[in-house]
């Protein structure tokens, strides 16, 4: 059994899934088809930098997309809609605590993280610090639409460099301290005190 986690992404203006997120969902479905006794967890509430009022969470928009496009493929898959996390750091910490709780009788090696190409490198870095390892975790980097490919690539390469600098003073596995610091960053972003967070 695998726990397949599709990490969220900001929704479009009409609250539908962005093409970046659509590609993540398609890859998540493919992983579920290959591992048909797995649990799929759709992750994301409202992105903390999103000032627009949203009627639905990222996770519920993802569930709607799957219901409309992949109902048959997922009919035997347990789906969890996680609507409270607001950043990648928070999502990975949630997953660590979920696995550590023993509720699903899973190990870190049963975890599959689905994100986007380039961004997946930052997810690997975060995982190394949050789970104290990333060697046994499966990472899936979904394709990025051609019309935003270069911009997305450059943005993620810069974010990866900043994340490396940010994390170097933390101990691997000390996820609670990392999460607390991320929440401080988010508050500073929301108050306009800084322009660029680590996540």
Flag the least confident range among 43-47, 53-57, 77-81, 194-198. 194-198
Angle at the Cα of 12 from the Cα atoms of 10 and 15, rounded to 5 degrees = 95
103-to-44, 93, 109, 188 alpha-carbon distances in Å: 21, 16, 16, 34
> What pLDDT was estimated at residue 71?
94
Q: How far apart are CA 127 and CA 121, in angstroms?
A: 10
State whether residue 29 is helix, strand or coil.
helix
* Average of per-residue pLDDT across 107-126: 97
Any idea what DSSP says for residue 147?
A: G
Residues near 17 by beta carbon (within 8 Å), at least 6 away in sequence? 9, 11, 25, 61, 62, 65
196 pLDDT above the threshold of 70: no
Rounded to the nearest integer, the mean pLDDT of the chain is: 91
Architecture of domain 3-190: 3-Layer(aba) Sandwich (3.40)
Q: Which residue has the higher pLDDT, 53 or 62?
A: 62
Start-to-end C-alpha separation, the chain? 29
Query: Would you state the pLDDT for residue 134?
Result: 87
> What is the reported pLDDT for 69?
97
Segment holding 41, helix H or strand E = strand 39-43
Cα 84 to chain centroid, rounded: 12
Confidence at residue 197, expressed as pLDDT on a 0 to 100 scale: 47
CA dist 133 and 131 (Å) reads: 5
């Amino acid at each position: 059994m695998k726990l397949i986690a599709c990490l969220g992404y900001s929704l479009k203006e009409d609250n539908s899934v962005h093409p970046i997120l659509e590609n993540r969902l398609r890859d998540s479905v493919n992983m579920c088809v290959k591992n048909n006794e797995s649990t799929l967890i759709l992750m994301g509430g409202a992105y903390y930098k999103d000032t627009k009022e949203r009627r639905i969470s990222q996770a519920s928009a993802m569930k709607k997309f799957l219901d409309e496009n992949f109902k048959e493929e997922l009919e035997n898959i347990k789906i969890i809609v996680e609507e409270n996390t607001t950043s990648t750091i928070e999502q990975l910490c949630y997953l660590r605590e979920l696995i550590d709780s023993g509720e699903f009788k899973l190990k870190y090696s049963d975890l599959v993280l689905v994100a986007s190409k380039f961004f997946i490198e930052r997810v690997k870095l975060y995982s190394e610090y949050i789970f104290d390892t990333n060697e046994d975790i499966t990472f899936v980097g979904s394709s990025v639409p051609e019309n935003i490919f270069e911009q997305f690539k450059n943005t993620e390469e810069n974010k990866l460099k900043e994340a490396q600098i940010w994390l170097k003073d933390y101990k691997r596995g000390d996820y609670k301290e990392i999460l607390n610091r991320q929440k401080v960053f988010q508050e500073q972003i929301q108050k306009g005190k800084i322009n660029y967070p680590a996540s």
